[in-house]
Amino acid sequence: MKGSRGLLPLVALLAGWQLMGDPASIALPPPAEWFRSLAELHADGELVAALAETLSTYVLGLALAVITGALTGAAIGSSRHLDRALTPSLDFVATVPGAALVPVAVLLLGTGRLTGVLTVAFAVVWPILLNAVTATRAIPAVRLETARTLGFSRVERWRKFVLPSLTPAIVLGTRVASSIAMIVALLADIFGTGHGIGRLLVERQQNLDAPAVWGLLLLVGTFGHLTAAVLARVEAHLLRDWQRSDQ
């Protein structure tokens, strides 16, 4: 409900824009024109194809980042030697903006879907990895020692004690990474790794098709908002469960 109320200023802005906007404007057409352009793109099949390509790059890259970041972060956090040796370098690499990686990735790997997926994964893995490192460090040593004394195998200790403790941190890192992942996926399209929404945006901008550009931006923003809202709810639910189990 609070999130819905927070959208009221945006809704009011769009309503005012619709009332006062000029349908003939080449830069600021009213929202009704955006939806008309989106409907035309959908009828032509361009919108569905572009959306599917961008979303597949986004989902595959984010999934690869979650798996890699969680496992690597847990391994680093559970080893003092790895922690001391790698964390300073990881902190440095994590400060590099994801957008800056796209042209470098295209230069090294060429164009194509795989380049987009790997670029998204590398750009967004850091908040997940560093959160996993911190969460692993925070697991009380006595808990793992008790599990070892009770005869739990290494795999059982990880499954029953380590991974449940990491889940809230990984979900938080994923929520942070999700918005970055969409930006990088769009930039990857623009730099030629695919024919997704980013490429469609550039083509429509070059054709001075302002309604389509605004409509595509609204579509991307809506997806980002819904994704963030879902992940925030998942994070809150997991955090409540984790706090209850930790008591």
Domains within the chain, CATH numbers bracketed: 44-246 (1.10.3720.10)
Helix (H) or strand (E) holding 102: helix 98-109
Would you state the pLDDT for residue 2? 54
User: Whole-angstrom Cα distance, residue 116 to residue 15?
Assistant: 36
pLDDT exceeds cutoff 90 at 50? yes
Average pLDDT taken over every residue of the chain: 86
User: Whole-angstrom Cα distance, residue 182 to residue 220?
Assistant: 8
* Encoded tokens for 1: 């409900």
HEC string of the chain equals CHHHHHCHHHHHHHHHHHHHCCCCCCCCCCHHHHHHHHHHHHHHCHHHHHHHHHHHHHHHHHHHHHHHHHHHHHHHHCCHHHHHHHHHHHHHHHCCCHHHHHHHHHHHHCCCHHHHHHHHHHHHHHHHHHHHHHHHHHCCHHHHHHHHHCCCCHHHHHHHHHHHHHHHHHHHHHHHHHHHHHHHHHHHHHCCCCCCHHHHHHHHHHCCCHHHHHHHHHHHHHHHHHHHHHHHHHHHHHHHHHHHHHC
pLDDT exceeds cutoff 80 at 161? no
Q: How confident is the model at residue 41 (pLDDT cuts 50, 70, 90)?
A: very high
Whether the model clears a pTM of 0.75, i.e. scores above it, the answer is yes
User: Whole-angstrom Cα distance, residue 24 to residue 109?
Assistant: 43
Would you state the pLDDT for residue 22? 87
Helix, strand, coil % (nearest 5) of the chain?
85, 0, 15
104-142, pLDDT tens digit by residue?
888 888 888 888 999 999 999 999 999 999 888 887 777
Would you state the pLDDT for residue 38? 94
DSSP state of 217: H
Taking the mean position of all CA atoms in its chain, how far away is CA 110?
Answer: 23
User: Whole-angstrom Cα distance, residue 87 to residue 77?
Assistant: 9
Q: Which amino acid is at 164?
A: P
User: Whole-angstrom Cα distance, residue 103 to residue 98?
Assistant: 10
69-86, pLDDT tens digit by residue?
999 998 898 888 888 888
Would you state the pLDDT for residue 158? 76
Name the residue with higher pLDDT: 42 or 154: 42
